[in-house]
Amino acid sequence: MWHQLSGNGSVTAHVLTQSDTSPGAKAGVMVRATDAAGSPDYALLVSPGEGIKVQARKTLNGDTQKLANPTGTAPAWLKITRAGNTYTGYTSVNGSTWTLIPGSAITINMGPKTLAGLAATSHDSGVLGTVTMGGVTVG
C-alpha cells in the first residue's frame, strides 16, 4: 500500500502486531522510486527476532544494504523523512517524540515523486505473515 510523495515529507506507521513466521520477517514503512521489482528504495522495518532494520537500495536492481540495526520488536513507531534526496529513519515510543536512528541517513536519487507506504514480508515463502499497523501518515 502506497501514496505518492512529492518533494520533502515523511511516512509514519505504528506496527502494532506482527506474526513470528521467521526471525527475519519484516513490517514497516518504505519509500520507493517506482512499484517495479528492484526499484531503488529506503525501508525502515521491524522484525520478530532481528531488531529494527534500516535498509536501502540505491540503484535499479542493485544490492540492498543494511544501514542500521537497532534493537526492537512490535509494537514500534517508525518514521522515514525525506529532505531533498536524503532519507533518514526515526523511532518513537509514543508517535509524537522521535529519536534519530544513528547511521540511518543516506542520499538516494529517486526523483521528485516517490511512492511512500507500508511494507511487509513473512520472510518464509509459502507462509502467510500477518501484521497490524495504525497511525499511518504520508505527507
Output the pLDDT for position 2.
87
Output the pLDDT for position 131.
96
Output the pLDDT for position 76.
97
Output the pLDDT for position 1.
74
b/e code 99-118 from CB counts within 10 Å (16+ = b) = eebeebbbebebeeebbbbb
* pTM for the whole structure: 0.95
Output the pLDDT for position 62.
97
Output the pLDDT for position 68.
98
- Structural domains present in the chain: 2-138 (2.60.120.200)
Per-residue pLDDT in tens (0 to 9) along the chain, 139 residues: 788 999 999 999 999 999 999 999 999 999 999 999 999 999 999 999 999 999 999 999 999 999 999 999 999 999 999 999 999 999 999 999 999 999 999 999 999 999 999 999 999 988 999 999 999 999 8
